[in-house]
Amino acid sequence: MKNFLRRHLKISKYEQHVKLGIFLVASVLILLFSIFAPPGVSLFDKVGMELALIAIGVFLLRFPTGIFLSANLFVVAAAAGSVLRFYDLFPGYDRVVHFLSGIILGFVGFYTAKWLLGRLSIAQNPLLLTLFSFFFSCSCAGFWEIIEFTTDCVSQMGVQHGNTDTMGDIVAGFIGAACFGAVCLYKYRRNLADFIRDLLHLEPKHPPQENQAEAAVRDSAEQRGQ
């Protein structure tokens, strides 16, 4: 199994151990939440969070460890909300979780875009990466609400609490995605400016200076020509 992970998933032995440790800690925390859950918590909430943790762990196994850790922490926070009833005990907790999910999904979208562009041999310009990560995160926020709506229609579990709750969650995820996009644009502002200039066929304010080697070759060619 270890050789399979190293060969097909291209992750080192150290990274395997780190991610396995993160997953086990998160899994134990959710299990403890289920054991000490208040009365009335459904089995669906308890088992569903463990299954979500497994699904996210498998999907993000090849992603950087920081993203893997953030996603696991998000599932633990969501489990605390639904299993320990933090959503009812602390007003605004739901919005904070959805806001963080917008940021985390932005990271996932960013690295997914880098992987796709690399596979397609397309230049990885910062604007395209940022836009993809932003819309990926927003799409996931909307898709999650569709899942909750479908769950309510099928099982009548009362996951959603009206239009205000649903739209508030989507807006919180949108703000998180926008914050991630703003950070990306600030970090890659120089590359982004070059990309926009190339796109609009504008000349840079300060033309690039030729290095010493290029200058020496030019001078040598001019001397030979004389």
pLDDT tens track for 112-126: 898 888 888 887 788
CB atoms within 10 A of CB 180: 22
Residue 208 pLDDT greater than 60, yes or no = no
Instruction: Write down the pTM of the prediction.
Output: 0.74
Q: What is the pLDDT of residue 136?
A: 94
Q: What is the radius of gyration, based on Cα positions, of the chain?
A: 24
Per-residue H/E/C for 22-47:
HHHHHHHHHHHHHHCCCCCCCHHHHH
Local structure of 202: helix, strand or coil: coil
pLDDT tens track for 12-37: 888 888 999 999 999 999 999 999 88
Residue 158 pLDDT greater than 90, yes or no = no
Instruction: Between 219 and 133, name the one with better pLDDT.
Output: 133
Instruction: Provide the pLDDT confidence category of residue 1 given band limits of 50, 70 and 90.
Output: very low
